[in-house]
Amino acid sequence: ETGVTQTPRHLVMGMTNKKSLKCEQHLGHNAMYWYKQSAKKPLELMFVYNFKEQTENNSVPSRFSPECPNSSHLFLHLHTLQPEDSALYLCASSEKLAEYNEQFFGPGTRLTVL
Amino acid sequence: QKEVEQNSGPLSVPEGAIASLNCTYSDRVSQSFFWYRQYSGKSPELIMSIYSNGDKEDGRFTAQLNKASQYVSLLIRDSQPSDSATYLCAVNGGITGTYKYIFGTGTRLKVLA
């Protein structure tokens, strides 16, 4: 167990639904990340938060809306998703934003959009 | 050109052999390099990080970095069937931003019993 938890672990939603993914880290880290992992593609960075402030939005469509109320919690709000958004969504954390920092991943949420 | 390139495999090695996984990267100013292991249906798990040229050993794992050749590798000694997984190379600290990891697509390793 890496100290990063994610809920739910599996989610099936229709294109008109609204749902949220939750991430919590128990490592005392200050930076948190959302990644998307699709089959046959490298991990794609979506958002970066540092001390609960967003520092990176990697050209993510607005149907994905992140929220970081504090350094330990990160949410990804989903609405009007498309079938191509089906993927594994991974949360990660690191002690700080720096070159020499190790990121630790949560177990992920497997999302299926019907 | 892909920013971080890995052979997708599968790389098949017999149990007890040395598995050699390779990764090349395009951003010459990259500073830090990471290897993750990902079992099917699971999330990536950090194996090692390496920041300086040369070798770094941790148990059965050895990471090797050659910044001049823009090449990083992972050796797994005495490979076990439980090492069968996809190994992801990640590179950080290049001109794209000091906190932005760029991942390769991973190499699938199969250790044959």
Q: Which residue among A55, A90, A99 places its CB closest to the CB of B32?
A: A99
Q: B interface mutation test: which of A59, A96, A103 has the most B CBs within 10 A?
A: A103
Give the three-state DSSP class for A6.
strand
Cβ–Cβ gap B88/A97 under 8 Å:
no
Q: Between these two residues, A40 and B50, which has the higher pLDDT value?
A: B50
Q: Which two tokens stand for residue A44?
A: 């794609």
Give residue B52's pLDDT band: very low, low, confident or very high (50, 70, 90): very high
Give residue B1's pLDDT band: very low, low, confident or very high (50, 70, 90): low
- H or E element in which residue B113 lies: none
Among A84, A88, A5, CA closest to B39: A88
Among A42, A17, A8, A1, CA closest to B88: A42
Q: CA-CA distance, A75 to A31, in Å (whole number)?
A: 13
Contact B11, B108 (CB under 8 A): yes
Burial (0-12, 13-18, 19+ Cβ within 10 Å), B50: buried
Q: Which two tokens stand for residue A73?
A: 């919690």
Q: CA-CA distance, A86 to A10, in Å (whole number)?
A: 11
Contact A78, A12 (CB under 8 A): no
Contact A60, A48 (CB under 8 A): no
The reply to whether A48 touches chain B by the CB within 8 Å rule is: yes
Contact A90, A106 (CB under 8 A): yes
CA distance A26 to chain B (A): 16
Handedness of CA A7, A87, A80, A32 (dihedral sign): positive
A48 contact residues in B (CB cutoff 8 A): 99-100
Is 70 exceeded by the pLDDT of residue A1?
no
Rounded percentage of chain B residues whose pLDDT exceeds 90:
84
**Tell me, what's the pLDDT at B2?**
64
Q: CA-CA distance, A53 to A4, in Å (whole number)?
A: 19
pLDDT tens-digit series, residues B87-106 = 999 998 776 666 788 999 99
The mean-pLDDT minimum among A24-33, A52-61, B44-53, B68-77 falls in A52-61
Q: CA-CA distance, B25 to A109, in Å (whole number)?
A: 29
Which amino acid would we find at residue B78? Answer: D
**Tell me, what's the pLDDT at B47?**
97
Contacts of B35 (CB under 8 A, 6+ apart): B21, B46, B47, B48, B49, B61, B63, B72, B74, B87, B88, B89, B90
pLDDT tens-digit series, residues A60-109 = 999 999 999 999 999 999 999 999 999 999 999 999 888 788 999 999 99
Is 80 exceeded by the pLDDT of residue B112?
yes
